[in-house]
């Protein structure tokens, strides 16, 4: 039995651990703003400048770094620890007692203070934020191996066949750890091609992003996009370029991780990154005083959500996992997946059916749909930190699977803006006209999105899954076209012929013998042939 003295000691430890508060300190100005904006190459890379110009994004005061003398002075204040900074918000994340943090208000360069514990704020979070203004040169015919289903489900394989594999697209992965990416065989192709660009650990402030081995989550996330094992595993964007940033502290849950994320997004923006993938989400913290509520998931409250919206405004396409709270009392998406400006990806299984853990849309998202779309997150295939192919559950995987596919799509339609790309992905999805809170607009067909983006008059696109198949073969038929499906065995004998359309879109193949089949899909204007494996 625990004695009263022991219980009191535990209580005191708990109280002391919460005596340190987290807060965002917003600053009044950037004294070097005019000089920096007159010479943008001093604060941005040329790639970032070019990307902004291509997308019509203005270079403004938010691109100017936080004034370093202000930060240096904050570090000298009594009881204050500086943990992160944000040029977009012109803010610094600090930790200290409530008294010491409030004392910062007396500093001439401090505009306002926003505590992570909302009960300590004088103004609301919203009011503070509203005042603050990102293959090679030959045709490819991959043998996908284990990843065949998750690649074909979103029709990324057709993009690959057209030689769109993510080349010239730069992706920043914001996650919790990337052990062995710099050495393991699955990423050798990435390293050989010079597509593993750089990294940084914002949690430990270490340039060696591979030194942090507290979590291998980022390695697995990256593998769904970038890994390549001959005839066994192909990511959805094997020829994109990647920056790796650690923003998640795997040992704790604290709002400072939101600040790390914003800082990394700002770094990505300055480097000219095209897409950010993040399989992270924030709802509750070790200190319950910092917790969000489902009602807060309205795109306006969470610091990370507001940062993600600014990143999108800066011309970066943000792909975010919906979260894994669908079967819990929380149920709805977390932050930053609640931002209306990001593409939020939920999860389905290999048959394209909703998986119960995938976070859902909720009442807080007024006037916009969450999740936006879905991809395979149920028992998706990954490469782990030991170079083994495994299956994991989570929207942490459906988001990067689709993110890589979008990189391949964007290579095919490079003149489109991030907003246009997201709209095309939604329009191509299987239930675009009837979205719901489970699947959003449904499973995207990225080859159809390419056709829509190119303005092709004849849209004749289809997608089928799973492959290999056991009982039922499903088809995503987007256009109002009748198809004839023919299956031939390895001897060339026809074993099945049927008609499909948008309402009749599945075939029962349970009675077929196991083995390889050739499936021919025909419409009035075209015929395509695919390999189908019956298990």
Q: Which residues are catalytic?
A: 175, 217, 396
**Token pair 């997004």: residue:** 265
Nearest alpha carbon to residue 368 among 341, 393, 407, 345: 341
DSSP 230: T
Nearest alpha carbon to residue 461 among 423, 428, 416, 435: 428
Q: Spell 353-373 as b/e; 16+ CB within 10 A means b.
A: ebbebbbbbbebbeeebbbbb
397 and 380 in contact (C-beta within 8 Å)?
yes
Residue/partner pairs of 467-471 with CB below 8 Å, 24 or more apart = 467/148, 467/149, 467/152, 467/530, 467/532, 467/533, 468/148, 468/149, 468/532, 468/533, 468/534, 468/535, 469/509, 469/532, 469/533, 469/534, 469/535, 470/510, 470/534, 470/535, 471/508, 471/509, 471/510
Nearest alpha carbon to residue 90 among 118, 110, 76: 110
**How far is the C-alpha of 473 from the C-alpha of 453, rounded, in Å?**
28
**How far is the C-alpha of 401 from the C-alpha of 386, rounded, in Å?**
20
Phi, psi for 340 (deg, rounded to 5): -70, -10
Q: DSSP string covering 52-69, please?
A: HHHTTPPP-GGGSPP-HH
Residue 496 parent element (H or E) = strand 494-500
**How far is the C-alpha of 466 from the C-alpha of 379, rounded, in Å?**
13
How many CB atoms within 10 Å of residue 121?
16
CA distances from 48 to 87, 225, 230, 271 (A): 15, 23, 34, 6
Q: Where are the beta strands (DSSP E) in 179-284?
A: 196-201, 228-229, 233-234, 241-246, 275-278
Nearest alpha carbon to residue 157 among 530, 458, 512, 534: 530
**How far is the C-alpha of 131 from the C-alpha of 271, rounded, in Å?**
27
**How far is the C-alpha of 497 from the C-alpha of 521, rounded, in Å?**
10
Nearest alpha carbon to residue 243 among 39, 449, 45: 45
Give the torsion sign (CA, 382, 305, 258, 45).
Answer: positive
CA distances from 132 to 126, 170, 243, 313, 439 (A): 10, 28, 28, 14, 34
């Amino acid at each position: 039995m625990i004695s009263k003295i022991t219980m009191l000691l535990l209580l005191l430890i708990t109280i002391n651990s919460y005596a340190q508060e987290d807060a965002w300190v917003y600053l009044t100005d950037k004294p070097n703003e005019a000089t920096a904006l007159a010479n943008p190459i001093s604060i941005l890379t040329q790639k970032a400048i070019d990307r902004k110009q291509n997308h019509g994004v203005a270079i403004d005061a938010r691109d100017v770094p936080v004034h370093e003398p202000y930060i240096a002075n904050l570090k000298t204040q009594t009881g204050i620890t500086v943990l992160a900074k944000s040029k977009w918000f012109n803010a610094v994340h600090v930790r200290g007692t409530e008294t010491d943090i409030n004392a910062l208000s007396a500093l001439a360069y401090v505009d306002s203070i926003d505590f992570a514990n909302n009960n300590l704020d004088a103004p609301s979070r919203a009011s503070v934020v509203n005042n603050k203004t990102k293959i090679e040169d030959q045709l490819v015919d991959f043998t996908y191996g284990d990843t065949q289903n998750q690649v074909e489900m979103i029709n990324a394989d057709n993009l690959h066949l057209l030689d769109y594999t993510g080349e010239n697209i730069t992706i920043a992965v914001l996650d919790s750890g990337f052990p062995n990416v710099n050495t393991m065989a699955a990423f050798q192709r990435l390293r050989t091609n010079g597509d593993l660009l750089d990294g940084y650990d914002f949690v430990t402030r270490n340039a060696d992003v591979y030194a942090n081995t507290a979590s291998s989550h980022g390695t697995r996330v990256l593998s769904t996009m970038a890994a390549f094992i001959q005839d066994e595993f192909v990511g959805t964007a094997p020829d994109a370029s990647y920056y790796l940033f650690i923003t998640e502290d795997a040992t704790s849950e604290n709002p400072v991780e939101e600040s790390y994320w914003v800082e990394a997004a700002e770094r990505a923006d300055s480097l000219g990154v095209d897409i950010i993938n993040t399989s992270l989400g924030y709802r509750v913290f070790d200190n319950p005083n910092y917790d969000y509520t489902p009602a807060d998931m309205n795109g306006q409250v969470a610091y990370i959500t507001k940062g993600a919206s600014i990143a999108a405004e800066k011309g970066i396409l943000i792909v975010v996992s919906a979260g894994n709270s669908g079967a819990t009392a929380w149920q709805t998406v977390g932050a930053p997946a609640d931002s209306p400006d990001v593409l939020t990806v939920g999860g389905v299984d290999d048959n394209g059916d909703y998986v119960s853990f995938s976070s859902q849309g909720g009442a807080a998202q007024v006037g916009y749909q969450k999740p936006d779309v879905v991809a395979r997150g149920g028992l998706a295939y990954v490469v782990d930190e030991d170079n083994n192919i495994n299956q994991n559950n989570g929207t942490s995987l459906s988001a990067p699977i689709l993110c890589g596919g979008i990189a391949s799509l964007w290579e095919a339609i490079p003149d489109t803006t991030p907003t246009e790309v997201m709209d095309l992905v939604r329009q191509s999805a299987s239930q675009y006209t009837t979205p719901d809170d489970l699947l959003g607009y449904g499973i995207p067909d990225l080859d159809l999105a390419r056709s829509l983006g190119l303005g092709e008059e004849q849209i004749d696109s289809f997608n089928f899954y799973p492959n290999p198949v056991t009982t039922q073969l499903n088809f995503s038929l987007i256009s109002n076209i009748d198809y004839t499906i023919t299956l031939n065995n390895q001897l060339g004998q026809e074993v099945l012929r049927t008609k499909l359309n948008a309402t009749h879109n599945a075939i029962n193949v349970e009675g077929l013998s196991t083995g390889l089949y050739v499936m021919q899909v025909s419409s009035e204007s075209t015929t395509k042939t695919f390999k189908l494996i019956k298990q």
